[in-house]
Amino acid sequence: MAESDSGYQVGPGRPPLHTRFRKGQSGNPGGRSTKSVPALLADALNETVVVTIDGQRRTITKREAIVTQMVDKSASADLRATKMLIDMMKDVEHKADDAPPSEPRGLAEADREVVQLFVARLRRQILHEIEVAKAAS
């Protein structure tokens, strides 16, 4: 075991002083990864790959490549791929049915003004038609 000038003995469990973390310095300055497994999966599926389709090179996401391969295998009578594709289609349809209706977004100020002017014009027209009907009778 090596011994330095200060009498500090380096060995198992006793690292050299110059390699230790400084006071206030973290051993992992980047911190722990905050990404969850679904986020990591989404990132991996959104990566792009270069594929050749009908003799032309195209850049598509891995997600698109997987779906394209599954559809192609299903079309070529691969029963396993066909079953997986049908199950995926059912899941997508089921999720679309369960999705709550989206909230209509609010009108912008200019749109609100146009609607108010339109409603006022309709009211005037209806009142005018009522007056004409009363005068005719």
> Which one is predicted more confidently, 5 or 95?
95
> 83 lies in which domain range?
36-97
Rg (CA), the chain: 35
Averaged pLDDT, 70-88 = 92
Does residue 125 fall inside a structural domain? no
Pick the closest to residue 15 from 29, 26, 1 (CA basis): 1
Residue 2 has pLDDT above 60, yes or no: no
Residue 7 has pLDDT above 80, yes or no: no
- Please identify which residue in the block is written with the tokens 């108010």: 116
How many structural domains comprise the chain? 1
Averaged pLDDT, 2-10 = 69
pLDDT at 84: 92
Averaged pLDDT, 67-90 = 92
pLDDT in tens, 26-52: 778 788 878 889 999 999 999 999 999
Please give the model's pTM, rounded to 2 decimal places. Answer: 0.47
pLDDT at 33: 78
Residue 94 has pLDDT above 90, yes or no: no
Does residue 51 fall inside a structural domain? yes
Give me the DSSP letters along 9-45: BPBTTB--GGGSPPTT--S-TT------HHHHHHHHH
pLDDT at 3: 55
> Which one is predicted more confidently, 15 or 76?
76
Strands 48-53 and 56-61: antiparallel
Does residue 93 fall inside a structural domain? yes
Does residue 18 fall inside a structural domain? no
CB 71 within 8 A of CB 85: yes
Does residue 28 fall inside a structural domain? no
Does residue 29 fall inside a structural domain? no
Does residue 79 fall inside a structural domain? yes
Does residue 58 fall inside a structural domain? yes
pLDDT at 128: 92
pLDDT at 1: 53
